[in-house]
Structure 1
Amino acid sequence: MLQYWYKNAVLYNLDVETFQDSNDDGIGDFVGLTQRLDYLAGLGVTCLWLAPFYPTPNRDNGYDVEDYYDVDPRLGDLGDFVDFIRAAQQRGIRVIIDLVVNHTSINHPWFQSSRSSEDSPYRDYYIWKKSKPENADGFLVFPGYQETTWTYDRKRKEYYFHRFYEHQAELNIGNPKVRDEIRKIMAFWLQLGVSGFRVDAVPFLIELKHMDSANVDQPYEYLREFRDYLSWVKGDAILLAEANVGMEEVPKYYGNGDKLHMMFNFMLNQHLMYSLMSGNAMTVREGMYQPPPIPDNCQWANFLRNHDEFPVGRLSKSQQEEMYEAWAPDENMRIYDRGIRRRLAPMLEGNLRQLKLSHSLLMTMPGTPVLRYGEEIGMGEDLSLDERNTTRTPMQWQSDKGGGFTKADRSDMVRPIIHRGEFSYKKVNVTDQQRDSESLLSVTEHMIRVRKENPAFGYGKWSIVETGNTEVLAHRLDWRDKTVVAVHNFGQSSLSIELDLPVHLKKQMSEMLSDAAYETINNADGEIDIEGYGYRWFQIDEGSS
């Protein structure tokens, strides 16, 4: 049995409220999600990552939590959640959930008590100051939508800290009682069957700014605390971190394999996207080399797009400007002075070959792939929606009214389903693509199956294979006696290239998957062909020599 299940996993991120509505109130729910598990199992998903589903005022897509121990009544109840977990387990699908403990909603009982009484046991659960700090209007996470990080509370007559919106009060992680609460939250959901947590906003969670009660010099030690407790409660559970940090910081988050299990690879993501935009494979190659080595029991999580904006801050200034010009020419497409609020398919103008290329890259890059719901069919965005909601529209299942998501009127939906243009549910949906063997959905499903059959993609040690062409990326992953090689052409023209591999390995190469029907490799020293935006996956079984 293979260790570290998350290394060969295929993760799929979704928001319950936009996935499937079972009672036609226009809002997705756990009963609806359970009904769609067969689809996810058929796609090849092995682990679901659920966006926050806790009770919430819902002023930030559920990331403003009001109660950590329940399900938002719009989405169902705890019984529905347990039924969902059981049904997922029956299909071999694990579930991880968002752990949003950097802050709570100001509606949370802890905050209401903290502001109300000097004798409150929650008095120091949050970060309070009698006077507003001088740098309160400095670093803002949401420029243009956020004016300060300190807001005056009339009841307590003090200022509270909020790294994000003013309705999201920052928890005081330096308070041992707060960390005890976090551990209890983790234990509760682990006992209900989840396999771990995607931890939201980790760099902000562990920052010690303005905390008078912090008792450690290195805030990363808090990650070890949580990891120890997680492993004690459930040995194979994982922590997947949202931490868009500099590469010099990465070792502090992984530790010696005793802190976080996984981190999203923002560095690789931005370089890969630039290569897709420019046609130059050298940029993604640079992005592969940037991250430092990580412990053997740790893993990078790779993605194309997620539920937030696409950030560009890990690219050079000139590259950022190129990205904006190509993929966000209108100011309405940009957000927070740092990113793009669009889905991938419209940015690639619906180019099916490029979309298939991007999915091939996702499935073969060193690490674990994370698909965002709708990516497998090439969903679009709705730029008329506020902030990041542009890419959070309902899943498009079929061409009937409501797109198979709901029978409710469009005006009653949690967000309007995309109903106009090339990416409307009438033109982009699951049912139509299931009937087409060459569709993005069908090809992605095939890629997932081949990846899962070849654990070297998830476990292997990677290295670049030289091709002599700047438009082509080739890399290999070696694991035990198996080697896999992936070749990707970022350019639009067909090419012939030679892979810089030892002759004895070339002789053992066999093709597993490709974008087209290529000639069988006969000449170990010869060239191989690859179409524009093409991809080819090979396996080498050294044990057969």
Structure 2
Amino acid sequence: MTRFRISQDQMLKGARRAPIPIDAADLWWRHSVFYCLDIETFQDSDGDGVGDIPGLISRLPYLADLGVTCLWLMPFFPTAHRDDGYDITDFFSIDPRLGTLGDMVELLRVARGMGIRIIVDFVMNHTSDQHAWFKQARRSKDDPKRHWYVWRDEPPENPDPPVFPDKEDSTWTRDEKTGQYYLHHFLHDQPDLNVALPDVRREIDKNLGLWLELGVSGFRIDAVPFMFNSGPGDAGAGGSNAGGTGADGSETHEYNGVDHLARVREFLARRSAEAFLLGEVNLPYEQGKRWFGQARDGLQLQFDFPAMQRLYLSLVRGDARALGDMLASRPEVDSSQQWANFVRNHDELTLDQLAPKELDEVFEAFAPEEGMRVYGRGIRRRLPSMVQDERAVRMVYALTFALPGTPILFYGEEIGMGENLDVPGRLAVRTPMQWASEGGFSTARPSRWVRQAPAGPYGPEQVNVDDQLADPGSLLSHLRQLIGLYRSTPEQAWAHLEVLHGGPAEVLAHVCRGEDWAMLALHSFADKGTSVRITVDADDSILTDRMTGAAIDATAPLSLDLEPYGWRWFLLHPADAEVTVR
């Protein structure tokens, strides 16, 4: 049938693959390969045009064969359908379009049998305005649920700006029934929870506890600075005074966001030895690193937003220095923490940490039309359609898997999916997974699909899993090879990063250095060939090409040629040898 286009041989190959041993005592997430997907756009099993949990289960062999070891599931809870599932009406259930709690348990069981853990989105910084809690809270000022949200008689003089400035003028909206204003950093349909309130914290604990008990291995925390905010005027560094504000605007509870995060981390540690927290913290390093906390009281894994944004600036310029300088400043983390390397996530490609002139550069090159941009800070396109050069695409993913840290892929990246700009807002990149030339996502007519696939050069006729599985030179094969190399050397994940300066401006040269192990990596951002002079300061030094296994004598300076957007990885012997480039 169309919706199951993986062949029996391919499914058996994935199923026969030896599962990754799961040791609940180790820091498994430091050397895992993450894959983010939305259940409703991944695979439809019953022909209604909406992806579902049984459909995802049918595709687990594909993900296991790709080398994925952890799935990050976007929200699958009941929703009011105003923010693609992030406007939740019940944190303790499953959207009936997607399946049941029983289906979820089966997904967790089958995935674990294939060596794949699952983490879920944790979005308890706000609810839908259709949630029973908010419906009760807005009944009257005296309702017991009133303080579960944040109310004021008048908005503050200097409110935080809305996260979606194209849709909201303010972070405060007046409720006509009670005459007070409620806080919402996102849409007015998504009132912020008062996470300082003990009753709300208990609900958070219950929710975390439910999914941990069912077998979830961790949580991706949405918008950490907004959920775990620390005080007035702190929106840029950690949120606003969202929690602890009473109906009259007075402080109701002593509150510190970092302490609240530590409490959540402590709860996880009590309930599960393997569970961890992945945080969305789009802040400069100096502000973001505080969310790591100390060894046992902060996030364990955090997206590297600063480096991701400089990656695109370097691509536009054909000059690696913007990215190299940022990576050189990336703070070291201890063994209980890790950086997550990613090319783009499921939202807009946010570029808000770039200077205005830098942002204009990227916009002009990668989003020349206004409809390609969103919120004045982001791009609603995927990488292949922006750069339009598969050599550059392959180099970018090679770099992603060559850095210390944990790689995170967004579904469809492995085959080079594009976007559908006819779909509004951030949903442009959340189109159905392209399994086959006719789509393969559902047996329903495409007009009934939950979202429409793109047309043209990045549509399913040109870009799909079936074709690339049959092509050993495909982008999918390239990603599988990168994942295999990454997983074969866990030393790389927690290695020390040394960015090498002095070489050609277009080449990012770095060394990943661990105990008795080191790798030299070269990645060119130029659309023309270039060469790099390498000097290794050690006797009997050897560079071993990780792709071919060929050994190169490095006792004398040597010149290495790179093709346009070329890249090379070398094991360095001895591992403590110093390397210079020019």
Structure 1 length normalisation: TM-score? Answer: 0.95
**1:122 aligned onto 2:145:** yes
- AA at the equivalent of 2:570: F
AA matched with 1:174: A
Q: Does the CA contact (< 8 Å) of 2:345 and 2:410 recur in 1?
A: yes
| Aligned partner of 2:122 among 99, 111, 132 | 99
Q: Which sits farther off after the overlay, 280-289 or 126-135?
A: 126-135
Partner of 2:409: 371
Following TM superposition, by how much is the alpha carbon of 1:214 offset from its aligned partner in structure 2, in angstroms? 5.6
Q: Is the 8 A contact 2:277 2:301 kept in 1?
A: yes
1:494 aligns with 2:521: no
2:103 is the alignment partner of 1:80: yes
* Aligned-residue offset at 1:433: 0.7
Deviations 1:83-125 (A, max 9, x none): 0000100000011100001100011111111112555432210
TM-aligned CA deviation for residue 495 of structure 1: 2.4
Partner residue, 2:392: 354
1:171 aligned partner:
193
1:408 corresponding residue in structure 2: 444
The aligned residue for residue 508 of structure 2 is 473
CA contact (8 A) 2:342 2:409 kept: yes
Q: Distance in 1 between matches of 2:107 and 2:412?
A: 20
1:150-299 mapped onto 2 (5 Å cutoff): 150-207=172-229, 208=231, 209=241, 211-212=244-245, 213=251, 215-216=253-254, 218-257=256-295, 258-299=297-338
Q: Which residue of 2 aligns with 1:460?
A: 495
2:554 paired with 1:532: no
Q: CA deviation at 1:251?
A: 3.2
Structure 1 residue aligned with 2:19: none
Deviation at 1:541, TM superposition (A): 5.2
Match of 1:60 among 83, 93, 103: 83
- Contact 1:21/1:27 (<8 A) preserved: yes
Q: 1:519 to 1:484 in 2, by over 3 A?
A: closer
SS at match of 1:88: helix
The answer as to 2:477 corresponding to 1:442 is yes
The separation in 1 between residues aligned to 2:69 and 2:539, in whole angstroms, is: 35
**Deviation at residue 352 of structure 1 after TM alignment:** 1.2
> What code does the residue aligned with 2:206 have?
K
Determine helix, strand or coil for the equivalent of 1:124: helix
Report the more deviating stretch, 244-253 or 387-396.
244-253
CA contact (8 A) 2:328 2:498 kept: no
CA distance in 1: counterparts of 2:331 and 2:571, whole angstroms: 27
The answer to whether the Cα contact below 8 Å between 1:477 and 1:485 also exists between their aligned partners in 2 is yes
How far did residue 266 of structure 1 move?
A: 0.5
Aligned length: 536
Q: Deviations over 1:408-431 (max 9, x none)?
A: 11111110112x211010000011
Counterpart-to-counterpart distance in 2, 1:344 and 1:46 = 23
- Map Cα deviations across residues 226-248 of structure 1 (whole Å, 9 max, x no partner): 00001110122110111111322
| 1:199-235 residue CA offsets vs partner (Å, 9 max, x unmatched) | 0011011224253346446321111010000111012
Counterpart Cα distance in 1 of 2:499 and 2:156: 49
Displacement of 1:520 in angstroms is 5.2
Rounded to whole Å, the distance in 1 between the matches of 2:350 and 2:324 is 19
Q: Give the corresponding residue for 2:453.
A: 417
1:48 corresponds, among 43, 66, 71, to: 71
Looking at structure 2, the residues matched to 126 and 523 of structure 1 have their Cα atoms a distance apart, in angstroms, of: 64
RMSD of Structure 2 on Structure 1 (CA)? 1.9
**CA pair 291-215 structure 1, distance change in 2 beyond 3 A:** farther
Cα deviation, residue 297, structure 1: 1.2
Range moving further from structure 2, 369-378 or 3-12: 3-12
Unaligned stretches of 5+ residues in structure 2: 1-22, 232-240, 246-250, 578-582
| Number of the residue aligned with 1:399 | 437
Once the two structures are superposed, what CA deviation does each residue of 1:119-149 show, in whole Å capped at 9, x if it has no partner?
A: 543221000112343445x612111211221
Distance 1:82 1:364 in 2: 35
How far apart, CA to CA, are the structure 2 residues paired with 1:70 and 1:504?
Answer: 63
Amino acid across the alignment from 2:562: I
Q: Please tell me the residue identity of whatever aligns with 1:177.
A: D
Aligned equivalents of 2:272, 2:551: Cα separation in 1: 48
Answer yes or no: is the 8 Å Cα contact 1:366–1:457 preserved in 2: yes
Matched, 1:426 2:461: yes
Q: 1:492–1:122: structure 2 CA closer, same or farther, 3 Å change rule?
A: same
Match 2:486 to one of 427, 431, 451: 451
What is residue 379 of structure 2 aligned with on the other side? 340
Structure 1 window deviating more from structure 2 (459-468 vs 355-364): it is 459-468
Kept in 2: contact 1:467–1:500 (CA 8 A): no
- In 2, Cα distance between equivalents of 1:226 and 1:111: 23
Mapped partners of 1:322, 1:255: distance in 2? 35
- In structure 2, what residue type is equivalent to 1:442? S
- Offset, 1:323: 0.3
CA distance in 1, matches of 2:274, 2:513: 25
SS at 2:146 equivalent: coil
Distance 1:413 1:465, change over 3 A: same
Report the TM-score when normalising by structure 2: 0.89
Instruction: Give the ranges of 4+ consecutive aligned residues of structure 1 lying more than 6 Å apart after TM superposition.
Output: none
Q: Does 1:113 align with 2:152?
A: no
Kindly indicate whether the alpha-carbon contact (under 8 Å) linking 2:327 and 2:499 is maintained by their aligned counterparts in 1. no
Query: Matched residues in 1 for 2:575 and 2:174: separation?
Result: 68
Q: Per the alignment, do residues 341 and 182 of structure 1 end up closer, same or farther by CA in structure 2, a change over 3 Å counting?
A: same
Q: 1:479 to 1:214 in 2, by over 3 A?
A: farther
Gaps in structure 1 of 5+ consecutive residues: none
For residues 449-500 of structure 1, give each alpha carbon's deviation from its aligned partner in whole angstroms, at most 9, with x where no partner exists. Answer: 0110011220111112346211111111122211122111111222221224
Q: What fraction of aligned residue pairs are identical, expressed as a percent?
A: 41
Distance 1:543 1:352 in 2: 33
In the alignment, is the contact (CA less than 8 A) between 2:403 and 2:512 conserved in 1?
no
- Structure 2 vs 1, CA of residues 117 and 407 (structure 1 numbering), >3 Å: closer, same or farther? same
1:521 aligns with 2:552: yes
1:304 aligns with 2:343: yes
Q: Which residue of 1 aligns with 2:8?
A: none
Identify which of 533, 539, 542 aligns with 1:508: 542
Q: Quick check: 209-218 or 14-23, which moved more?
A: 209-218
